[in-house]
């Protein structure tokens, strides 16, 4: 159980949501950031660990905005 808590701390989905310079810019529509994400998906077979954690928690890909109901639940 302690290992799961430690792993969640390392790969916090909220970092992808509010702190990742690539993902936050891709959600705002930056083409270069979307291009970098595409390369990242191919190289890592599914994206970075923080983006995967965000997808598990919120059910949306790192370049997609949160649904309005998920944003209300996280507060």
pLDDT digits (tens, 9 = 90+) for 29-49: 999 999 999 999 899 888 888
What pTM was computed for the model? 0.69
Q: Which stretches within the chain are classed as H helix?
A: 2-10, 13-18, 21-27, 31-44, 49-58, 68-73
Q: Looking at the predicted structure, is the pLDDT value of residue 8 above 60?
A: no
Task: For the chain, give the mean pLDDT.
Answer: 82
Which of 70, 72, 63 lies closest to 25, judged by CA? Answer: 63
- The 10 Å Cβ neighbour count of residue 56 is 10
Q: How many CA atoms, within 13 angstroms, populate the side-chain half-sphere of residue 62?
A: 30
Q: Are 54 and 8 in contact (CB under 8 A)?
A: no
């Amino acid at each position: 159980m302690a290992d799961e808590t430690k792993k969640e701390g390392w790969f916090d989905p909220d970092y992808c949501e509010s702190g990742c310079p690539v993902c936050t810019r891709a959600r705002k529509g930056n083409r270069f950031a979307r291009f970098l994400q595409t390369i990242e998906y191919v190289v890592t077979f599914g994206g970075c660990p923080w983006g995967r954690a965000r997808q598990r928690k919120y059910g949306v890909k790192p370049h997609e905005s949160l649904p309005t109901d998920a944003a209300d639940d996280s507060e």
